[in-house]
Structure 1
Amino acid sequence: VREAGRRPEPAPAPPVAGEGGARRGHLRALPDPDA
């Protein structure tokens, strides 16, 4: 019960956000394939 109530460390969250930001940056920097 304790483990369930205790929230998981915020470690997985930062990596995901960082990857998303990096990917967005790369996509913006690279020319749009559709364009």
Structure 2
Amino acid sequence: GLVKSEREGQLQIYSLADSHVRSIINIGLEHVMEEK
């Protein structure tokens, strides 16, 4: 019902945020590698 769809929506938001955080970390690591 409604609760299940709401949970699925939250999971999608979490996965989107997780991938966004990962890309930010990867970009940061790339900059650190370039400095060395």
> Normalising by the residue count of structure 2, what TM-score does the alignment of the two structures yield?
0.58
The correspondence for 2:8, drawn from 13, 17, 34, is: 13
Listed as ranges, the gaps of 5+ residues in structure 2 are: 30-36
Point out 4+ residue stretches in structure 1 off by more than 6 angstroms.
none
Larger Rg: 1
Paired positions, count: 27
Q: Which has the higher helix share?
A: 2
Give the Cα separation in 2 of the matches to 1:24 and 1:15: 14
The correspondence for 1:24, drawn from 11, 14, 19, is: 19
Report percent identity of matched pairs.
Answer: 4
